[in-house]
Structure 1
Amino acid sequence: MASRSYVRVAEALGRAELPRFLAAAIEVQTSADHPFGRDMALRKPSEADIRSVVPLADRVVQHVAAHAGISPKTAFKLLGQRWPHARWARDVQQAVGMCLLSGGPHPHLTDELVTGWLVTGPSRPWVLFVAEHTDDLLSVCRLEHERAWITRMLRSVGDIAAYEELIKEYTAEAAVLEARRQRARNGLVHGNPTNFPIVESVREYATFLSSGALRLGIESYVENSPPQTALKLRTPEVIAMQAGQDAVTYWRRRVAALQDSP
């Protein structure tokens, strides 16, 4: 899949030169990623490295917004709307990992679950693995102090009410993080004293915005489609779940449709 994406990018680059704002966004994102890259793996990122991410990430989004012909404010709003569902998916996957890595009392079952988890793919979405093995995952989990949270996350794949409750929490979290990110960015850019724990608390969110903006910008370029459309587009999964369908039902229907297609 990754090699196919590289081929598509190369083919797109063969059609025309990379748009300047998109090229600038890639350059800035590369600078932001450098302290956290593989070649720096043996060196712990410094406070200066972490502080630099917030203004650099801001610039990436601004470049992509310019490429798309929309205001940065609009771009940040559209990207921020993607946070709740992405955060939910990440937390469910984290809950699975916590179960599998907790060294439970059933090593053979744990090994089977690890193998099953690693082979999820288009014909075997991870959501369906979670739904089918929730009880098994909980049985091997030894993190009793996290059990309530883990159970809540695992059950949410098949419980739309639980999902919607989590999305409300993540939406409120996104609003807090965005306001904090703006304050941290302004302080760092203008040389005002900025509390490091505050900066560190928004680094993940800032990176999510910039990497998402860049990915969507590149995808629109590869597909030769309007970048503003890519920024506004929601995935079929998100659309279905916002309409009241739980993730398990959505993915079972999607897999069935794929299997029935010629």
Structure 2
Amino acid sequence: MLLKATLAAVLVVTASTAVLPVTRDTQAPAHDNFLITPWEASSYTSTDYLKTVDDAWFRFEPAFPITLFGKTSNVIWFSMNGIMTVDEPVYSKPTVPEQKLPVDPKNCGNGGCLPDNSLAVFWRDLTLAAIEHSGLFSLSIIFNYHGHDGNGISHYHVWWRVLDKAAPTNSDPKNYKKGYREFGVTLWENKPGVFDITHTFDRNIENVQGIMGAQSFSGPSPQFIEVPISEVYAKGRTFCSLTIDTTKMNYNVTQVIQ
């Protein structure tokens, strides 16, 4: 059962305005599944609410440190637009539209910015915009925590269940799958710098746009890994998983289901 995000600290920003963080207890107890989104069950369909979470960053303190390109942090941030980082974002810099990697954080202009060390799970202009049949699926960012029970290795599953703003939904409820995107990343305590990413989708979706990969501007020269979207999304597929290793600087498609 999903719990409301009473355990999450949330930073809410719009594309043009930084908003002070809403501070909450961010220590996640073992075996807990919870939303890291700040809405109440009946409020996320309102226009005013959607404006406050669109393009937002969410701050989270996991139960174990996360390493990305050699930088380790006890605090991580997730963007509504499919990004994870170990660097506190500059909230005045919007993350859309997406840009080809690498993106210099200091010279990214007024749009399409990333923090120094970023993982693009699926970088795109995504939204929680509700549609008429929103009861058919959840529109959210969800954390599932597992481990510390003596039976496995501690890890998180983080899922985005969102809508692609640029997809041809045509306001027709029958076409909602054209805009629906479901993807996630697994964070392992025993695999620093390694991220398992999964995408699920309708087999009739094609020509999906977006950026997947990782980048770092912390060293003397930028490092980046970019995964061609054609290796993940293809007509006829229903599932694809890949591993991005920011230590070995490579990626590997590990499973495809047609």
Question: TM-score over 0.5 for the alignment?
Answer: no
- Taking structure 2 as the reference length, what is the TM-score of the superposition? 0.26
Structure with the larger RCO, 1 or 2 (CA within 8 Å, 6+ apart)? 1
Greater fraction of residues in helix = 1
The structure that has the greater radius of gyration is 1
Greater fraction of residues in strand = 2
- Taking structure 1 as the reference length, what is the TM-score of the superposition? 0.25
